[in-house]
Amino acid sequence: MQAKVVVIGSLNMDLVTRAERLPRAGETLAGESFITVPGGKGANQAVAAARLGAQVSMVGCVGDDAYGEQLRAALLVEQIDCDAVTAVPGISSGVALIVVDASSQNAIVIVAGGNGRLTPEVVARFDSKLAEADVIICQLEVPMDTVEHALQRARELGKIVILNPAPASGPLPASWFSMLDYLIPNESEAAALTGITVDSLASAEAAASQLLKAGAAKVIITLGALGSLFADGQRITHFPAPKVQPVDTTAAGDTFVGGFAAALAQGKSEAEAIAFGQIAAALSVTRAGAQPSIPRLSDVQGFRPS
Ligand code: RIB
């Protein structure tokens, strides 16, 4: 039986512009290109888990517009179960306005649209999907009470629970930590959760220690080109990232989370799952766009470090 991952979260249409640099406040800047690609942290993580070997169900909401249909279609092509992707009448689908600069960094503004309509009641309607999962993943692009409901149910059902606290604007509710198996922030999210500026391995260690003290069982801070830091109270381990030539970092974190979850669901050890997720994320930054950049299992298996 294929391992099952359920993602409860966002779907966005990404409107992506490439420009030499990110615009300053009040400035109009000429861009170099424009593309529309399926994204959203939840949907990206679902696609990553599916392409990397898991059977995936998505729980989320889109608007009743053309983007909603395209976002659903992008998941169905990956054999992702979309029974629990609901089209909400009278609202737009979520969108993300993304600018990618010449050094492949990005800035993103999101408009929740349908994602804001993923209520605890909607998730409760699809409780049977959660019950079938080995691993359940949540992020923060849907309402906080929905995330809390999903984490609680996942914990009650005895699933492996992953929270990618993205985007994060402040500390998490204290009661959430005991419901998580893995908390996976990036540098800026770890900083928002802890108040510690995370820009080195030492500061990442300090942030991870604070999150463990707050009640997290296991923390993985993703650090871009530096790799990631795993901490569980007994050990702190640094996993260096494979070296690649970056083109676009959009969805690298999502690829890591989806790949890590897929590997864990298939019974891999934490260390193996982190290494696997890191290769997948490294490959994703060598390609443009969110979902189009996410590699397949054969790409990861064929990866040879340079
Ligand atoms: O993590 C990348 C994603 O963030 C993009 O696909 C965009 O939709 C935003 O949600």
Taking the C-alpha atoms of residue 136 and residue 130, their distance in angstroms, rounded to an integer, is 7
Name the residue of 11, 13, 37, 41 whose CB sits within 8 Å of the most ligand 1 atoms, as the mutation to test its pocket. Answer: 41
**Model confidence pLDDT, tens digit, residues 139-167:** 999 999 999 999 999 999 999 999 999 99
Structure tokens at 185: 């922030």
241, two tokens: 């990232």
Query: How buried is 209 (Cβ within 10 angstroms: 0-12 exposed, 13-18 middle, 19+ buried)?
Result: middle
Nearest to 39, CA basis, from 291, 287, 280: 291
Quote the CA–CA distance of 268 and 54 in Å, as a whole number: 12
Give residue 105's pLDDT.
84
Q: Which atom of ligand 1 is nearest to the CA of 253?
A: 1
Domains and CATH numbers, the chain: 4-10+40-91+114-163+242-293 (3.40.1190.20)
Q: How far is the CA of 96 from the centre of ligand 1 (A)?
A: 7
Nearest CA to ligand 1 atom 8: 40
Residues of the chain with pLDDT under 50: none
Burial (CB count within 10 angstroms: exposed 0-12, middle 13-18, buried 19+), residue 170 = exposed
pTM of this structure = 0.96
123: Cα separation from own chain's centroid:
18
How far does CA 227 lie from the centroid of its chain?
Answer: 16
| pLDDT value for 101 | 94
Residue 250 CA, closest ligand 1 atom number: 2
Specify burial of residue 10 (Cβ count, 10 A radius: 0-12, 13-18, 19+): buried
